[in-house]
Structure 1
């Protein structure tokens, strides 16, 4: 009777709670194998067909979760080439195996060597080549295809990346400015996976915004889930740092830091992870300006925020960055105030347009310089 009761308990599996089930996947490990080459036919000099290959194609609108759902297991193999025969001296080539992956995927081998960076729609890379067919050089014996394990690392591609410590109001802002529906609550670490939203404008222009889960100190060294989140910042065109004007305290065991100290701390985490991130254009949002006392704090800290380099001497050594961010603009906001939200949307658009114009002029000058080098010294203009 006891054994029967144990059996019934094991056989009943209750479904996991929805908020515990992972929905966002940004890493995936696959075993891939190219097809075996077909054997040749020595008597007639027949050549076996080459084995098929496994290749990835980047497609917009896909997720790694959909990729996994489309596979029976995490093994992908192409078919083998056809053997040479009397009826077909040249064996047919094996069928290739195409796997569609999201745009923004980087493909690494087991030694963490980058194989391909699929950062554009329809970008393609072969990850496992097929073996050559049997021929005189191989004693008419087909060769096995390439067999290895590859790691897919997805880095989100967005116009804007929201960066900040937990409970700064990033998810509230994302929900207010876009069509995203992130989870929102009045406690830290509400966002546990990146969220993507799209800001729609009346003239049909759209801007994508990525809300990254709150960082903690030490994220650059992969404390918490540092690297898992910071890697998504690399592909954004504009960094938006969001801080609470009243400061932030991670827990009772951690010290409370004012908004200036938090700006330096975020600056340092980005610098230690990848110094090139500091070269990205950035905007600073000072949130929760609707609360009492916010404007008094802003008046006090505004001179320091406008010139972060001048305040480095007063910054604690553990938070002090080597290079400070240069903000395109500093915007006091309230993520729950519709008027302020409209200002944020307009500011983000103006900043991105200005950056695009700068990039266009830089590209134009580069093209002119390349033309001069090809043609030589430009002669006088004909009028």
Structure 2
């Protein structure tokens, strides 16, 4: 939400009250190019024509994506990310140092998917590469000052042509390896702190002139340039990880409930859509037990078709272990509100409503229809879904709610731990 503040007559400033929240972004990443090889010869006193001693170029840096709990949004990401280039080789046999890795820190819960290119685009790229093949062949060499590529006298062996055939053979091997390797599209779910993977690898460094030394050619006057780093285009999608997800219609009191049971302080107001991005709060108990609660922005009818905030925040419900439906029992039809929420969740992701759930009957302290609506809701709702009446504004019955939430989360965590141990035992048996 933007607010205009008058400073002086005729002057104004723009201030953003809400921090920008980004949970989906498309990024192009590129590994660092390899450093160039060096053309150098040993020169010392009484050694006018020493052997070649140019160093190889350093490998380019990698692009690494790492999950961290210190980040909560993807807004720090750029549209283009490149690692550092490798250092060029130096004389006296000194190889170039490796380029610095680029570590991209993303929030825990980020899903990384590679964007697949259309076959037509690949065909056009192959055609362009074929047209520029000769130019690229000429551009891959680093020549000694005043040296020429075709400098062999007539009748003698052209050592540069021999070196060029050697590099052509290596290029063919690289292309063959790319064709034969099973290059699967990247799809990684970063669900743990400090979990990381290499997105793009840096290019190999170029060869120094000692690489082309033979018994016939004792003074090669050329080296190669470093290879290009890998390039990928990926989509980053953030799905909030929390034990409990609060879902409800706009102005149902989700933000007020979150602030009353946790340490979070989301914005609260008496109008719809006060929450424009998910808030995650931590519920602390006396014995230092903790669980996390996510406040999802309000859903409206048609949210599965991307109406309102729609898909922008429905994705944050997927990871919640328990779904808590926050229903305003002081409204005209609480049961219809519940059916609307369940329909939208099921339409967005089939099977989502079968997840363990709980109903929080909020605003139960209001006089008038609240008490009658609560009794009617208890009759209409399936008995398998517990209902806890609360007043989030005045923090009434909040202690019972936190006790019920802890009991449910503890059971789910025990089941997850048993499942993890069984998988580990199966993996150990296989090896």
- TM-score norm. by structure 2 comes to 0.68
Larger RCO (alpha carbons 8 Å, 6+ apart): 2
* Partner residue in 2 for 1:64: 73
Quick one: distance in 2 between partners of 1:38 and 1:174? Answer: 54
Larger CA Rg, structure 1 vs 2: 2
Quick one: distance in 2 between partners of 1:350 and 1:266? Answer: 24
In structure 1, which of residues 247, 259, 263 is the aligned counterpart of residue 334 of structure 2?
Answer: 259
SS at match of 1:67: coil
In structure 1, which of residues 338, 344, 347 is the aligned counterpart of residue 404 of structure 2?
Answer: 347
* Partner residue in 1 for 2:312: 228
Change (3 A) 1:366 1:25: closer
Displacement of 1:89 in angstroms is: 5.5
Does the 8 Å CA contact 1:155/1:235 hold for their aligned counterparts?
yes
Change (3 A) 1:369 1:76: closer
Quick one: distance in 2 between partners of 1:360 and 1:54? Answer: 33
Query: Does 2:88 match 1:76?
Result: no
Query: Does 2:349 match 1:274?
Result: yes
Within-5 A mapping of 1:307-318 = none
Larger mean CA deviation between 205-214 and 297-306 belongs to: 297-306
Change (3 A) 1:366 1:124: closer
* Partner residue in 2 for 1:52: 61
Displacement of 1:351 in angstroms is: 1.2
Displacement of 1:354 in angstroms is: 2.2
Displacement of 1:356 in angstroms is: 2.2
* Partner residue in 2 for 1:24: 21
Quick one: distance in 2 between partners of 1:241 and 1:167? Answer: 13
Quick one: distance in 2 between partners of 1:81 and 1:267? Answer: 54
SS at match of 2:93: coil
In structure 1, which of residues 149, 153, 158 is the aligned counterpart of residue 237 of structure 2?
Answer: 153
Change (3 A) 1:116 1:170: same
Equivalent residues, number? 329
Query: Does 2:187 match 1:103?
Result: no
Q: CA RMSD in A?
A: 2.9
Displacement of 1:49 in angstroms is: 2.0
Quick one: distance in 2 between partners of 1:75 and 1:15? Answer: 30
* Partner residue in 2 for 1:206: 290
In structure 1, which of residues 334, 350, 360 is the aligned counterpart of residue 391 of structure 2?
Answer: 334
Query: Does 2:109 match 1:33?
Result: no
Larger mean CA deviation between 350-359 and 235-244 belongs to: 350-359
* Partner residue in 1 for 2:99: 94
Larger mean CA deviation between 335-344 and 210-219 belongs to: 335-344
Q: Identify unmatched segments of 5+ residues in structure 2.
A: 1-9, 40-51, 118-184, 213-222
